[in-house]
Structures are given as C-alpha cells and as structure tokens.
Amino acid sequence: MKWGKRQSLIGYLFVLPNILGILVFFFIPTLFTIGISFTDWKYTANTYNFVGFSNYGRLFKDSMFYESLGNTFIFLLSVPVSIILAFMVALLLNKQVYLKNWIRAMYFLPYITSGVAVAFVWMLLFDAKNGPINQFLQTIGISNPPGWFSTTNTAMFAYDIIWIWLLLGYNMIIYLAALQEVPQELLEAAKIDGAKPHQTVIRIIFPLVSPTTFFLLLTGFVITVKAFGIIEAVTHGGPGTSSQVLSLYVYKMAFRYYEMGYASTISIILFIIIMLITFIQWVGQKKWVHY
C-alpha cells in the first residue's frame, strides 16, 4: 500500500513538468479567456470594465455569428467526405498496385505543404474566367460553370474541396496503418464462405477499422473548426460574409478590431461547440465502433 503510494508519487513527479506546461500555456490562458469574455477590454486600451453577460447577449443577437456558424458547419462537411475517400484510396493502395509507394507519397504531399501556399495554387485553379477547372468544365459542355470563390453560394464549397484534398493524405496514411491490422484469416474465411468484395469491405474491414474512423472523425472536426488560414488568405471571408467561418470571425474581432472581450466570448462558444460535437460522437460511437 505504502509502496504503491510512493510509486505513484514518483510518477506524478515525473509528469509534473508536463502538467506545469499545460497549466501555464493552456489551462491558465483558457481561464483568462473566460474572464475576458465578461469584460469590454479592447487590446490597446489601458482600462476595462466588467460587463457581465452583455457580450453573450450581443452574441445571440449577432446575425454575423449565426452566418459564421452556418459556414462552419458547411466547412465541417469536408471531414466525413475526406474520410470516406481516404478509406477507398487506402483500400486500393493496400492491394498490389503499380508504383504503390510513389502514389502513397503523392497523396500525402498536400498534408505537409504550407496551407496558404496551397490555397494560392487553388485560387489560380478556381479562377472563374481563365482557371483550368472552369475551362475544362466548359470544354465538356458546361456552359455556365460555377464561380467558385467569386460567388456567394459556391465559395464555401470551394474551400470544402481544398480541405478534403488537404486532409486526404493524412487520413489515408492512418487508414493504411489500420488495414495492416486486419487479420488475414478473417478475409480468407469470408472468401471461402463466398462473400463478394463489397460485402467483405462493408461487413468485415469497415467494422474492424472503426476505431480509426472514429479517431479521424474526432480529430478532423476539431482541426477543421479551428482552421481559417486558407480562407483568410484567399477571400478574407468574402464575397460578403459568405465564407466567414467562426474561427475567422474570432480572429478578425480580436486582431483586426481589437475587441478582445467579444472575441473571447465567441471563442468560448466555439469551444462549447467543439465539446458538444465531441460529446455527441463519444456517445454515438458505442453504436458503431468496435474495439
């Protein structure tokens, strides 16, 4: 008993520096954010007042907040799509494919490239008038191709496409690793029992890699909710506010308008949304994730 206590004490001592780091660089700033959200502090101002819940009241009446929230959800659509595509690519690459390693590296390349640089390349591709994508669409007979970043109802989906492509490589690598863990005996047994390839995938492989899918879904949502770099680089949230996501709204509020109080309020709400999504997935996973 005593020995065990001592052991755990030593254990805590070892992780203490790490915990201190988390406290100083993560936990305390979070507490500060909560505190600031109840003030009207502007970044360069020397004074601030406590304003109670008035920032939260403002938030619920702020039409820009709801629009940004809606755009964030459109942006989140890219996560499941990217995961499904990554799963299919990983299945293909797991078989004997010509130039397998090269293709694998090719798919992974976007993930390790600078997001803003990638965004600029896509900006050229998506150019409404002279971009290769629209010129291709025109040659195959679509006379009125979408305006991508230049029109309000397509801008967010253009970002979805970029984001799917960016996440694909990472998701695929994780799936490839998971596929190595699928026992060959099960697949052979299924074959002997006469299962068709698609049945094998849906009934055997997919359930077996479901913890991976769950992990990718969870981390993918978190990464995506926080991402705004490529949007700020290309359209700054435009045309109008059609591509303004919540994280970009926070960034602008804080570092363009210096409204730290209100920006903190939005980020608290953003935090709660991420928590909720995670919680729902956590509860839902019991139905479809098999360990």
Partner 1 sequence: MNVRKIGSVALSLLIASSLIAGCGGNGGNTTSNNSTASGKNTDSNKKSDEVIHLKFWGGVPEEWGPVEAIENWNKENPDIQVEYVRFVNDDAGNVKLDTALMTGQDVDLYGTYNFARFQSRAQSGLSVDLSEFDDYNIDEKMGPNAADWKVDGKYYAMPTKRDLHFVWLNKDALDEVGLSVPYDWTWSDMQEYAKKLSGVKEWGIVQDLATWDFVLDSPIVEEGLVAADGTSNLDNQDTRKILETTYNMMYEDKSRPMYGEQMASKMRVEDEFLKGNAGMFYAGEWIFRFANNLKDYPRDFKIAIAPIPKVVADQPNHYVFGGLGDAIAINPKSKNVEAAWKFLKWYADGGMLPLAKGGRLPASSAVSTEESMKLLLDGVEDLYDMDSINKVMFGNDFKTFQNKLPQQIIDTRRNEFQLYFTNDQTLDQMMANVVKAHNEYLKQNK
Nearer to partner 1, 44 or 144 (CB): 44
Nearer to partner 1, 44 or 96 (CB): 44
Nearer to partner 1, 78 or 134 (CB): 134
Q: Taking the complex as a whole, how short is the minimal distance between the CB of residue 2 and partner 1, in angstroms?
A: 18
The contact set with partner 1 (CB under 8 A) reads 11, 14-18, 20-21, 42-46, 58, 123-124, 126-129, 131, 147-152, 155, 234-235, 237-241, 252, 255-258
Nearer to partner 1, 155 or 205 (CB): 155
CB atoms within 10 A of CB 240: 11
Q: Taking the complex as a whole, how short is the minimal distance between the CB of residue 100 and partner 1, in angstroms?
A: 33
Nearest to residue 71, comparing CAs of 266, 205, 262, 225?
A: 225
Q: Taking the complex as a whole, how short is the minimal distance between the CB of residue 245 and partner 1, in angstroms?
A: 14
Nearer to partner 1, 65 or 170 (CB): 65
Q: Taking the complex as a whole, how short is the minimal distance between the CB of residue 135 and partner 1, in angstroms?
A: 14
For residues 144 and 205, the answer to whether their CB atoms sit within 8 Å is no
Q: Taking the complex as a whole, how short is the minimal distance between the CB of residue 54 and partner 1, in angstroms?
A: 10
Any alpha helices (H) in the chain, and if so which ranges?
2-22, 28-36, 54-61, 63-76, 78-94, 100-108, 115-125, 132-139, 155-180, 184-192, 197-199, 206-208, 210-226, 229-234, 246-255, 260-288
Q: Residue 273, class by beta-carbon neighbours within 10 Å (0-12 exposed, 13-18 middle, 19+ buried)?
A: middle
